[in-house]
Amino acid sequence: MIRFKKKKIRKARKIKAEQFDGNIEYKWRLCDLTNTSRLETLTTQLHYRLYEGDGKAIYNIGYNDKGVPHGIPMDTLCDNLKVFNHILDSAKCRLLSINILRGIDGFCANIYVEKNDFVPFDELLSECY
């Protein structure tokens, strides 16, 4: 179960546009748990972002690809966080923190995650040399 500390929700700021490479992913919203092919795609994307960030990734939900924090309704955000938790379980990741922010038309989330057993690619290749 996801629980939040009650505190004042800060206003989200525009962030830089999403980059193809790197460990930061922007999602307007995710899917529902019944869409298994989309869940697999999102899990693969998470693996890529973790690889790019040496085992750490940041997900920004409620933002468009240009970094504008439009936000989504709180109930939709909660549903998205449940889906993201499922993706984290599939990818064997752990949640480091979630920041809930007030967007232009709803709420946004900045989510920080870490791969439990990440081994840098260079270390994997070290046995080949």
- Burial letters 54-66, b for 16+ CB under 10 A, else e: ebbbbbbbbbeee
Query: 3-state class of 40 per DSSP?
Result: helix
Query: 3-state class of 119 per DSSP?
Result: coil
Averaged pLDDT score across all residues of the chain: 88
Q: Where are the domains of the chain?
A: 24-128
Rounded alpha-carbon distances, angstroms, from residue 7 to 4, 25, 39, 72, 95:
9, 26, 31, 19, 20
Please give the CATH topology (third level) of the domain spanning 24-128: Translation Initiation Factor IF3 (3.30.110)
Look up tokens 């990818």; give the residue. 91
pLDDT tens-digit profile of 12-68? 999 999 999 999 999 998 988 888 999 999 999 999 999 999 999 999 999 999 999
Q: Does residue 104 have a pLDDT over 80? A: yes
